Structure 1
Amino acid sequence: MPMLEHSRGRAYYRHWPAADPHAAIVFLHGFGEHTGLYHRYAYALNAAGIDLWAVDQFGHGLTNGDRGNFVSIEASSELADIVTELAERQRPGLPLVAQGHSFGSVVTLCRLLDNPGRYRAGVISGAPLAPLTGLSDGDSFDLDPAWLSADPFYLDSLENDPLAFVDANGSVLSHELERAWKRFESDLPGLVVPTLAVHGTADPIAPVGAVREYAQQIECLQLKEFAGGRHDILNEAMHRDVAAAVIEFVDASTAG
């Protein structure tokens, strides 16, 4: 299995190569997910000439760690750095785009703020950019699958995939989100990397309102809303339209 070496342990990654790519995306998933849930999205990108690289974050998928424990924003960022270096070595000079979903989007925004010259553009989905309510009971996170998607294929994948989960200790996640929200209040308006946010209007986990407010403040942050879409917008019933929006943005951002 393809594994990354990290001081905290080995991490599993996947690479979906396009036949003749003109861009590559480095992707970070969200809580309870793993890279195997994104085959359908990867194939849509590949058909459009875009490579996809993704890593199972700590505590998820086939990577070491306690279930649901991302460790920290910095640890997730380090995994993305290693994957980025792999992508750069395989195809030097290929334009790179940083992408993340849910907690992965939080890490991606921090990375774009920390190193704005590393990626040509950014893509975020289901981004929790403001405090969440009603999702945790003490240290426990327990998500209703119906909050995530209305797509029966994806819901079946969640139910029958032993690597996917909707409940776990969420204390680390909560702590890291609190850190990010404090930073975003002061730093996110200074974002300079062209970034697309794709978000469902019916997302009950990370309501779209906070993303709308930031998009109104930040010139380089575009928001594409999908009516009725829930949290896992990349795996929603309208996943083809979402992928098409991402492809259009990546093409425009990496042209030339």
Structure 2
Amino acid sequence: MTSVQLTSAATSSPAIAGWDNPPAIAARASVILVVGRGEHPGVYERFGTRLALDGYRVRVVGDPTADPDAVTADLRSLLGDPDLPGPRVLAGSDAGAAFAAALVATGAVDVDALLLVGLPATAPADPVEDGATPAPAPGPVGDDEDRWAAQLAARTACPTHQARLSADPHLRRAALDQPVPASWLADADLSRIDIPILGLHGTADLVSPPRPARARYAAAPRAELVTIDGGRHDALNDATHRTAAAVIVLFLERLRLGAELAPIARWA
């Protein structure tokens, strides 16, 4: 498995990061991920490494809330790369999920499937799912350190990832308080998307409450929504990140067999 830095600004994190399958394993599919508010591609190193070890090529592009045109250009460049094998899955986390869904729904990009993590909802915060432990709300509370602690808890319950984010000089900490552009939420109409969609959503997500998110997926003709019990906003970097990765790998394996997503494993 190899890690590649494809492009970089001189004073920031890579604009595109990538992880390739090990040389002894043939590439099985490609996943191109759009990061969330305030994030950068390096935040998803653990995710990229894990999928690459299973034979998938992973590319991660930047934060569309910072420069949507640049992110769109990067996506189109990657989708034109003959070294990225199909099927090709466009993924997004947080605002990146809304951005990715909007691009597909409006026909701006052509992919084989969508993976949406913590898809933003349009409704105000609802109660978390029954039995879930709520995370602290991410909005402004007290001083900057209090606000950051609340944002960390809303993003992830994984102490390793919390420590990484806290030490990251490239993370824009206040970005999660900024609203997702209304045009992305309007354009991200899942009812207009006729390719397979996998949604991952934490039941304790206070950034994007589960109930409005369920309604968005219910409108899609070909969506599967998997909820993570007690999960917070960033399912790819939460305490249950291994479970999330396993769900994604199963989805990818089914997609390789055909767009109808025939089941492979059954609970008898």
Q: What are the within-5 Å matches in structure 2 for residues 34-183 of structure 1? A: 34-57=40-63, 69-72=65-68, 74-85=69-80, 88-91=81-84, 93-115=85-107, 118-131=110-123, 144-168=151-175, 174=179, 177-183=181-187
Q: Which has the larger radius of gyration?
A: 2
Q: Is the 8 A contact 1:116 1:192 kept in 2?
A: no
Deviation at 1:177, TM superposition (A): 2.3
The number of aligned residues is 231
Q: Is the 8 A contact 2:61 2:71 kept in 1?
A: no
Q: Is the 8 A contact 1:211 1:223 kept in 2?
A: no
* Corresponding residue to 1:199 among 187, 198, 201: 201
Code of the residue aligned with 1:43 in structure 2: it is T
Matches of 1:83 and 1:132, distance apart in 2 = 35
Code of the residue aligned with 2:100 in structure 1: it is T
> Relative to structure 1, is the Cα distance of residues 213 and 45 closer, same or farther in structure 2, using a 3 angstrom cutoff?
same
Deviation at 1:4, TM superposition (A): 7.2
Q: Which range is displaced more, 220-229 or 10-19?
A: 10-19
Deviation at 1:164, TM superposition (A): 1.8
Q: What are the within-5 Å matches in structure 2 for residues 7-18 of structure 1? A: 12-18=15-21
Q: Is the 8 A contact 2:200 2:235 kept in 1?
A: yes
Deviation at 1:18, TM superposition (A): 0.6
2:218 alignment partner in structure 1: 216
Matches of 1:22 and 1:169, distance apart in 2 = 34
Deviation at 1:191, TM superposition (A): 1.4
1:50-107, Cα deviation, whole Å (9 max, x unpaired): 110112336xxxxxxxxxx5234x543232212222xx3224x532110010011011
Deviation at 1:158, TM superposition (A): 0.7
1:64 alignment partner in structure 2: none
Deviation at 1:129, TM superposition (A): 2.9
Equivalent position SS for 1:12: strand
Matches of 1:182 and 1:115, distance apart in 2 = 14
Equivalent position SS for 1:244: helix
Percent identity at matched positions? 23
Matches of 1:129 and 1:253, distance apart in 2 = 26
1:131-176, Cα deviation, whole Å (9 max, x unpaired): 4568667xxx976211111101000001111112321496xx53x5
Deviation at 1:245, TM superposition (A): 0.4
Q: Is the 8 A contact 2:21 2:57 kept in 1?
A: yes
Q: Is the 8 A contact 1:199 1:226 kept in 2?
A: yes
1:101-140, Cα deviation, whole Å (9 max, x unpaired): 0011011101221338821111010110314568667xxx
Matches of 2:171 and 2:8, distance apart in 1 = 20
Tell me the TM-score normalized by structure 1: 0.80
Matches of 2:63 and 2:39, distance apart in 1 = 9
> Relative to structure 1, is the Cα distance of residues 132 and 51 closer, same or farther in structure 2, using a 3 angstrom cutoff?
farther
